[in-house]
Amino acid sequence: MDARHKSIALPLALAYAVLIVYASLYPFADWRDQGIAPWAYLAAPWPRWWTGFDFGVNVVGYMPLGFLGAMAILRSRAASPAYRAVLWATVAGAAISFAMETLQSYLPARIPSNVDLGLNALGALAGALLAAGIERFGLVARWQRARANWFIDEARGGLVLLALWPLALLFPAAVTFGLGQVFERMEAAISEWLLDTPFIDWLPVRQFELEPLVPGVELLCVMLGALVPCLLGFLITRPLARRAILLPLTLLVGIAASALSAALSYGPDHAWAWLSVPVQVGIAAALFVGMLLVPASRRLCAAVLLIALVVHLSLLNQAPESAYFAQTLATWEQGRFIRFHGLAQWLGWIWPFATLGYVLMVLSRRPRGA
């Protein structure tokens, strides 16, 4: 494999492992020693209460880790046989699961389970076998050729961010495509951490009340939130003609992810309830502005992307979360979605700021023509 085209599997695997750690140990509260060996769950009997959802989510949750781990090994060590990649990826997934289940013995809100451990390992194995099968049938080589035709040599960071964007949209947002709305929660978390300490007096007092977004500003946020990943794709796409194809595909992926998020949060009957007139106009405006920027240079796209991100984050973080939206978050944080809570929420918080850092790196490089 050409060293210039580094695989995105390894950074995606590491990011997914970190998110699994968060999702497994959330809410990180009330750690205590219960007086038993932390691995005692290994000898526990079959659980009395279980559901197909619990079984399925434990398998599916570790499949991406096994897939990405095996793919990273296969792409970094071309001479390594497929069975070794499958073996190491499965062992890594099982080891992470064992560590998480063991640490859950110290969390009263979580229950370690030998069944979960086995299903997690099975999921990692299934994902690794899928990666080996894809490699065996030459699909990865086809992807490498397509990547060389579509994207520039230094596209790995941008591709990772684009791959994570739909996952970040799965956590419900107060504004459609409104990732990175962290000010109010961060302020509350810092105040809670500093409570009953002398440092609470150091916390600056906010001089203004957060006001809900008016429809026009909400429309602008939707447009900017939809435009940002499109411009990110423009930065790494090679020929200009590819941009005209990538633009509507990116928007369609975002719409599909938002519909899935709504279906998970409010039920399948409400999957499209979020697609109001302001949202439709915002998406159409993003498509129009994106088409205007199709022939623009990469540095101009990076500059527009930087401005769009800063304005988007600034507008979102001047608005509070509505009470109805807070109730939706409670459903995610306390119900069956607790397993997805850390995965999707942290992506939704971090993704815009990671993209901001990536764009600043692009702008700091010396220009290479278009």
Residue 336's pLDDT is 45
Residue 328's pLDDT is 55
Residue 325's pLDDT is 53
Q: Which of 158, 143, 161, 148 is nearest to 4 (CA)?
A: 148
Mean pLDDT over 227-246 rounds to 90
Is a pLDDT exceeding 80 seen at residue 60?
yes
- From the CB of residue 226, how many other CB atoms can be counted at a distance below 10 Å? 25
Is a pLDDT exceeding 70 seen at residue 79?
no
Is a pLDDT exceeding 70 seen at residue 209?
no
Residue 241's pLDDT is 86
Residue 6 pLDDT class (50, 70, 90 cuts):
low
- Give the lowest-confidence range in 62-76, 170-184, 203-217, 285-299: 203-217
pLDDT in tens, 144-180: 777 777 888 788 788 889 988 998 888 777 788 988 8
Residue 334's pLDDT is 46
Distances (CA, A) of 182 to 21, 142, 146, 171, 173: 21, 40, 37, 13, 11
Mean pLDDT over 270-296 rounds to 92
Q: Which of 73, 68, 189 is nearest to 130 (CA)?
A: 68
Residue 2's pLDDT is 46
Kindly report the pTM of this predicted structure: 0.69
pLDDT > 70: what percent of the chain?
A: 79
Mean pLDDT over 130-147 rounds to 80
Is a pLDDT exceeding 80 seen at residue 139?
no
Distances (CA, A) of 66 to 17, 75, 96, 248, 331: 10, 14, 11, 31, 29
Is a pLDDT exceeding 60 seen at residue 335?
no
| More confidently predicted of 358 and 173 | 358
Is a pLDDT exceeding 50 seen at residue 281?
yes
Is a pLDDT exceeding 70 seen at residue 63?
yes
232, 158 Cβ separation under 8 angstroms = yes
Is a pLDDT exceeding 60 seen at residue 197?
yes
Q: What is the mean pLDDT of the chain?
A: 81
Cβ-defined contacts of 352-357 (< 8 Å, 24+): 352/179, 352/180, 352/228, 352/309, 352/312, 352/313, 353/180, 353/313, 354/161, 355/161, 355/228, 355/232, 355/305, 355/309, 356/306, 356/309, 356/310, 356/313
Determine the Cα–Cα distance for residues 70 and 10; give it in Å rounded to an integer.
Answer: 9
The 8-class DSSP code of residue 334 comes to H
The DSSP annotation for 148-202 comes to HHHB-TT-HHHHHHHHHHHHHTTS--SSTT-TT--HHHHHHHHHHHHTTSGGGGG
41, 190 Cβ separation under 8 angstroms = no
167, 348 Cβ separation under 8 angstroms = no
The 8-class DSSP code of residue 286 comes to H
Tokens of 337: 């979605």
